[in-house]
Amino acid sequence: MKYLILIFLLVSFSACSPEKSPRPEYVLVIHGGAGVMAPKDFTPELEKEYLDKLQEALDSGEAILKSGGTALDAVTAAVKLMEDSPLFNAGKGSVFSETGENEMDAAIMNGKDLSAGAVAGIRTIKNPILAARKVMEDSKHVLLVRDGAEKFAREHDVKIVDPSYFFTQKRYDALLKARKHGTVGAVALDRSGNLAAATSTGGMTNKMTGRVGDTPIIGAGNYANNNTCAVSATGHGNISCAIPLPMIFRL
Ligand code: GLY
């Protein structure tokens, strides 16, 4: 029996008494997909490795929220840190398509003004979430794909790497065996009451070239709206069963 292993961490801080303020001053929830594996392979050592990296990602986002920074900056920082790790199926640790390439998707949304940006099918952008944020802030569009997204990222000083950056033999062998999927994401509430969500993924192992999942589709894999909620989804995004977690709801 194999299981999809997902790990979530949450930090929430409240300085006010509950009578004065029903909501915490800030909240950050992150998720990191460890992929599909047999429980026996998810050793205590491996679990600790994942938890340590997730804690690092949580700390990086919390430092921003604590000092009055925005939910948008917090989710960007947390997701970027997970993209830089080979542990998760996003950025450096992205799975391989049927042609042995890495094609990544990412999206970000600001709950304050409903602005959003996303990239899909990209192969050379070191941090897909930074490219998604540039699309949101510096383009007149919401979703850019493949060469167009890469050209836009280059022109906006987002770091470009050779596709070999995403390759490690150990993970290549393991991933082909493991049918890995998983995604990383973060949702945050900042001290000003604004929500944001960010999600990043390498998609599904052995996917067809050009396959795009739920992650970069605003409202499917990623959504934030100050009036309602912030959501970052994970799971199998081919069919409508991506798991909408984590979430922050406005009550
Ligand atoms: N939920 C990630 C994907 O299916 O690509």
Place of tokens 């949580």: 58
pLDDT, one tens digit per residue, over 38-95 is: 777 788 998 899 999 999 999 999 999 999 999 999 999 999 999 999 999 999 999 8
- Residue 119 CA: distances (Å) to CA of 108, 132, 187, 220: 10, 5, 18, 14
- Ligand 1 pocket, mutate which of 36, 104, 214, 217 (most atoms under 8 A from CB): 214
Which atom number of ligand 1 is nearest to the Cα of residue 203?
5
Q: Ligand 1: residues whose CB is within 6 Å?
A: 183, 201, 203-204, 213-215, 221, 234-237, 242
Which of the residues 70, 76, 183, 205 is marked catalytic?
Answer: 183
pLDDT, one tens digit per residue, over 165-209 is: 998 776 677 656 655 667 899 999 999 999 999 999 999 888 899
CB burial of residue 151 (10 Å; 0-12, 13-18, 19+): exposed
CA-CA-CA-CA torsion for 91, 207, 199, 181, nearest 10 degrees? Answer: -90
Residue-range domain boundaries for the chain: 2-250
pLDDT, position 250: 61
pLDDT, position 24: 85
Q: How far is the CA of 213 from the centre of ligand 1 (A)?
A: 5
Query: Contact, 93 vs 200, CB < 8 A?
Result: no
Which atom number of ligand 1 is nearest to the Cα of residue 183?
2
More confident residue, 19 or 118: 118
Q: Which of 40-49, 108-117, 141-150, 239-248 is predicted with the least confidence, judged by mean pLDDT?
A: 239-248
Residue with CA closest to ligand 1 atom 4: 237
Q: How far is the CA of 249 from the centre of ligand 1 (A)?
A: 23
Query: Contact, 193 vs 22, CB < 8 A?
Result: no
pLDDT, position 174: 62
Asked whether the whole model's pTM tops 0.75, one would answer yes
pLDDT, position 21: 56
pLDDT, one tens digit per residue, over 93-128 is: 998 888 889 999 999 999 999 999 999 999 999 999
pLDDT, position 49: 92
pLDDT, position 98: 85
Is position 183 annotated as part of the catalytic site? yes
Looking only at the bridges linking them, the beta strands covering 143-145 and 26-37 are unpaired
pLDDT, position 5: 57
